[in-house]
Amino acid sequence: MKKILVTGGLGYIGSHTVVELQNTGFEVVIIDDLSNSSKEVLSRITSITGIKPDFEEIDLKNKQAVEQFFKNYSIDGVIHFAASKAVGESVNEPLKYYENNITTLTYVLKEMIANQVPNFIFSSSCTVYGQADELPITENAPTKPAESPYGATKKMGEIIIEDTTKVTALKAIALRYFNPIGAHETSKIGELPLGVPQNLVPFVVQTAAGIRECLSVFGDDYNTPDGTAVRDYIHVVDLAKAHIVALNRLLNNENKATCEFFNIGTGKGSSVLDVINAFEKATNKKVNYKIVARRAGDITAAYADTSLANNELGWKAELGLEEALASSWKWQESLK
């Protein structure tokens, strides 16, 4: 049985990926510092799969602890989610982001190399493309200057990894996620935003639940069919499955370069109003909303060309927007 380290494995995407790893026969060890997650997720994962993953509460900024971890565990691959991810916060606390997302990445990579662990999957983001000149966005689209320190850490992370693969035995795949939404069908794991949600779907769901009074739709004067901004919303379970196929590609030496990049999205663009309408249709719940000014730093439209992931990874998103939104709602209801 192959043993995989999942950093940030108690977080939103991490926990869904741990479930898929266990379901496909991998042994999992999670590192999480619980800074934006809870230990309860461990028992929730266990109740879905029937297998308790190993868990180490480690802050990856602790270099000695990372070294000791790699001495204690014999690992076949690493899926690296652990990172801070609030765009607004990153603008106000850049050093927190560079330390949490970059310093820790270098520690993990160093120990992988020192311990001959060659297989690395990185959580990247479509944010590296900024406002792309052409839609849908292919992996060949040029990356743009980052809009925030958070975005910079994703871009820099890719560069650090690619440079490292050039001169070591490290093999890596960076998955560029579009907008992950939804929750596991069991409603035992899902997204748990702390405080007021910054992302669209958690805000929609909390508005429908009566926790928030009114959703602000940020701008209806974009150059899009209905004037609201367009994104590619992907079900988190589909996204989790992409990590398994990417990992297997490396484990089976099927990769065509030592560092590869894949867009992980549905290929379909949906506007903010599309999301509200699909949510109302999927749940029969009304979402109270008003149009307000654009949010600083937002782009007009982004959706993926997924041909490379479809053809090379043999992966395709299977779940649609309404299914994803219904699962987000079911998850919210389960939190009552």
Least gap, CB of 85 to ligand UD1 (angstroms): 6
Q: Which of residues 245-274 bind ligand UD1 (CB under 6 A)?
A: 272
Based on its alpha-carbon atoms, the radius of gyration of the chain, rounded to whole angstroms, reads: 19
Q: Which of 46, 199, 248, 310 binds ligand UD1 (CB under 6 A)?
A: 199
Give least dist CB 135 to ligand UD1, A: 14
Site for ligand UD1, residues 30 to 59, rule: CB under 6 A: none
Instruction: Give the C-alpha distances (Å, rounded to integers) separating 168 from 60, 261, 290.
Output: 22, 18, 53
Interacting residues with ligand UD1 between 131 and 160 (CB under 6 A): 151
The answer to whether 150 is a known catalytic residue is yes
Q: Check residue 203 for interaction with ligand UD1 (CB under 6 A).
A: yes
Pick between residue 171 and residue 176 the one whose CB is nearest to ligand UD1. 176
Shortest Cβ 240–ligand UD1 spacing (Å): 15
Q: Return the residues of window 294-333 that contact ligand UD1 according to CB under 6 A.
A: 295, 297-298
Decide: is 68 part of the binding site for ligand UD1 (CB under 6 A): no
Spot the catalytic one: 97, 129, 150, 233: 150
Regarding 216 and contact with ligand UD1 (CB under 6 A), the answer is yes
* CA-based end-to-end distance of the chain: 38
Would you say 10 or 170 has its CB closer to ligand UD1?
A: 10
Active-site residue set = 150
Binding residues vs ligand UD1 (CB under 6 A)? 87, 125, 127, 151, 179, 198-200, 203, 215-218, 229, 231, 272, 295, 297-298
